[in-house]
Structure 1
Amino acid sequence: MKSNNKKKRAFLKWAGGKYSLVSEINEQLPSANKLIEPFVGAGSVFLNTSYKQYLLNDINPDLINLYNTLKHNTEQFISDAQQLFCAANNQRERYEALRKEFNQSQDSYSRSVLFLYLNRHGYNGLCRYNASGYFNVPFGRYRAPYFPRDELYFFAEKAQRAEFTCLPFQKVFSKARQNAVIYCDPPYAPISDTAHFTHYAKGGFSAQDQIELARLAMRAGHKRNIPVLISNHDTPFTREIYRHARLTELQVRRSISQKGEKRVKVGELLALYRC
């Protein structure tokens, strides 16, 4: 499902974001009226496709709260968020104070504004929470964090075609109907025993979750006639659980390191389930 527009960047920095792969993903996505994303993340696939409708989900409530706030209160949100992007707030002590304010706040609007600030000022765009559910990404030490004004406006305009939900992926699959296509970008299976990074929200994404996702994808694609495309690392485990899908192999430069020289190419798979 190709987009007619120049590639659009997400307004969030996001570990594992799909901006660099949107062309390859678009080549695999079938045409449909609606795109459903159970793991929307920063939304690069959403931003670079041209479906009439979108159902965009993530298990991270702060992320979905931000998207709904931006969708429904665009001008006020952008104005308030931009005020946080100043030299006085680009210091470790101030960052930690605002991070504490975010963790203690129960106001959805304040949390949405602070979430964008933390994303752009925190270390390498990570989104990580501790066992108590507190955001704990350290200060990123950037010279002048970029305020993504144009990207925010583009997202907000396109979001008028989207519904945002915060549900387990199983429930999102149950919402899919005919003439929809599902794209899944789950927390990736580890490429080694020490490479786990699954804490985008409190909890994690286990091997059993990976297996359940593959099962639901096969059922949707082969029995319900709802195509499903999944991205993941290319490992013996993922090849086994996606054995009923059509696999496309990719080499992708990826790392959570800030230093470009530490970014190495790793194998990834696109697994397509369809009748």
Structure 2
Amino acid sequence: MAEPILKWAGGKRQLLDELYARFPTDHDRYHEPFIGGGALFFDLEPPDATINDANPRLVNFYEQVRDDPEALIDRLASFDDPEADPDPSLPYDETTARDRSVESYYYQQRARFNRRPYESEFDPLTEAALLLYLNRTCYNGLYRENADGGFNVPVGRYANPDWVQRDRIRRASDVLATTTIRNDDFAYVLDVAEPGDLVYFDPPYEPMSATASFNEYSADGFDREDQRRLLDVAGALDEAGVWVVVSNSGVMYEPYAEAGLHVDVEGATRAINSDPDNRDAVDEIVATNVPPDERLDGGQRGLPEF
């Protein structure tokens, strides 16, 4: 079974059984417009699927995993321990582009990652390798961008971090081999989904309160107008005979119920939190247009912890 390679905010490892329980007994092509870490996608291993994300770096990463897994593994294997000294043969071994001191190998790679979109030459393989390296060595595995789109998470403290992820990359590459990978707006699915297909939406969550935020993983964010558009897209798919499953925060219960979907509240555990003791359960909803008597019987097991 394939497993997610990246740690990603809002991962669905612990919600897999609840999601499968809302699947139809049978469906055709599978589409996931907000792929993120891909917990459900890699567990399902669907043939001829489409996946999408608004984050171009994440999309590039999956393209490299699909198209050139061994080269990606080799590039990752060449990286050093995050607390090692900076590599003098690479850029930013002393200061960042903003003239800030570089304290270790990790911060040198972070500086390289953040400058790459502005440099004249772009190496998608290096970009993908840096993304996974930083994801697996940064503090708590948190992907976060500032307002300028820069990755700004500090280094983590791990005894033996595994940033190469050989087995996961190879298994994921096999699953992605027949997958169409897109960097579009989520509404692309209106053009590709056919009657009998299944679409799973896992958008950045509507905040549970004025101070809580589930959408800080991207500089662009995902606002309430996007949430309303998502409701409209789900409704259009329903009318077209496409199966729809959506997960979101509990505050979206009423909008989905009013749209005519079957909605249930599920408990979920925060996958990423700076305080491990505060990864408490929060309300999530799972909404679907699949009638209860047409759903898949039983769920599949959840993925192991990272």
Common fold, TM-score beyond 0.5? Answer: yes
Is 1:219 paired with 2:232?
no
Select the structure of larger CA radius of gyration: 2
Paired residue secondary structure (1:56): strand
Contact 2:73 2:166 in 1 (8 A): yes
Contact 2:145 2:218 in 1 (8 A): yes
In 2, distance between residues paired with 1:93 and 1:226?
A: 50
Comparing both chains, which one has the higher relative contact order based on Cα–Cα distances under 8 Å and sequence gaps of 6 or more?
Answer: 2
Aligned counterpart, 2:203: 186
Q: How does 1:103-252 map to 2 (within 5 A)?
A: 103-105=114-116, 106-147=122-163, 148-221=165-238, 223-235=239-251, 238-243=252-257, 244-252=260-268
Is 1:100 paired with 2:111?
yes
- Seq. identity, %: 32
TM-score, normalised by the number of residues in structure 2: 0.81
In 2, distance between residues paired with 1:210 and 1:83?
A: 42
Aligned counterpart, 1:77: 72
In 2, distance between residues paired with 1:143 and 1:23?
A: 32
Residues 90, 258 of structure 1: alpha-carbon distance in 2 compared, 3 angstrom cutoff: farther
In 2, distance between residues paired with 1:209 and 1:240?
A: 16
Aligned counterpart, 1:17: 11
Q: 1:24 corresponds to which letter in structure 2?
A: E
How many residue pairs align between the two structures?
Answer: 266
Is 1:271 paired with 2:293?
no
Residues 102, 219 of structure 1: alpha-carbon distance in 2 compared, 3 angstrom cutoff: same
Contact 1:37 1:183 in 2 (8 A): yes
Aligned counterpart, 1:59: 54
Residues 90, 175 of structure 1: alpha-carbon distance in 2 compared, 3 angstrom cutoff: farther
Unaligned runs of 5+ in 2: 87-102, 117-121, 292-306
Root mean square deviation, CA, Å: 1.9
Residues 99-132 of structure 1: CA deviation (Å, up to 9, x unaligned): 1111112322211110110111112222221222
Residues 16-74 of structure 1: CA deviation (Å, up to 9, x unaligned): 11111112211212222211000001111111114332101000100110110111111
Contact 2:75 2:126 in 1 (8 A): no
Q: Which runs of 4+ in 1 moved over 4 A?
A: 87-92
Paired residue secondary structure (2:177): helix
Contact 2:46 2:175 in 1 (8 A): no
TM-score, normalised by the number of residues in structure 1: 0.90
Residues 41, 125 of structure 1: alpha-carbon distance in 2 compared, 3 angstrom cutoff: same
